Amino acid sequence: MPHPVFSHLFGTLALIAIMVIVSLFAEAMLYVAFLQTQRTRLAEVAESVAREIVEIVSIHTLGEGGFTYMNLKIPQTVGGAAYIIELEDVEENRLLVKVRLQHHQVVKVVVVPNFGSGAVRVLNHTVIDNTRGIEYGPVLYVPCKNPIVVVIRQNKKYYVALGKSINSG
């Protein structure tokens, strides 16, 4: 016949195991809710960047200038985490805005920003423009100082890029 100490010990261990399992389950549910919230925040950032691209391309094609840029109104962090915004060409006059966190959660938005006669493409290299004090290219790492969206006209084609201020002041 088992000693009563062992049955109490097994009962206590079973209760502790159940508490650990329930707390791990609750933690997992909270983490899933956090990831869904982050995904929603990333989608809002991607849509905001897409709207800004459409707006600046329309302004740029109306003015027919060679270089136009404007400030991006985006948060510096998403839920306290840094993020990356990337632009990709899907096809002519269609751009893909990808926003992702460091742990590979990605939100994509397709942009159709053509209001003029030329093709709209993504600038596929990084440019450091010391005269204007900005750096721009297809990728923007946020948080950064003064995020911007840039449109450049070359040979009846419009190139869109994301950038930031590089001035120290």
Question: For residue 158, what pLDDT is reported?
Answer: 87
Overall average pLDDT of the 2-17 stretch: 85
Question: For residue 115, what pLDDT is reported?
Answer: 63
Question: For residue 34, what pLDDT is reported?
Answer: 85
pLDDT in tens, 44-57: 999 999 999 988 88
Question: For residue 161, what pLDDT is reported?
Answer: 94
Question: For residue 116, what pLDDT is reported?
Answer: 63
Question: For residue 157, what pLDDT is reported?
Answer: 85
Domain ranges of the chain: 33-165
With 80 as the cut, is the pLDDT of residue 168 above it?
A: no
Alpha-carbon dihedral 121, 52, 56, 158, rounded to 10 degrees = 0
- Residue count (the chain): 169
pLDDT in tens, 81-131: 889 999 998 887 888 999 998 777 777 888 777 666 778 889 999 999 888
DSSP-based three-state secondary structure for 147: coil
Burial status of residue 32 (CB atoms within 10 A of its CB: 0-12, 13-18, 19 or more): exposed
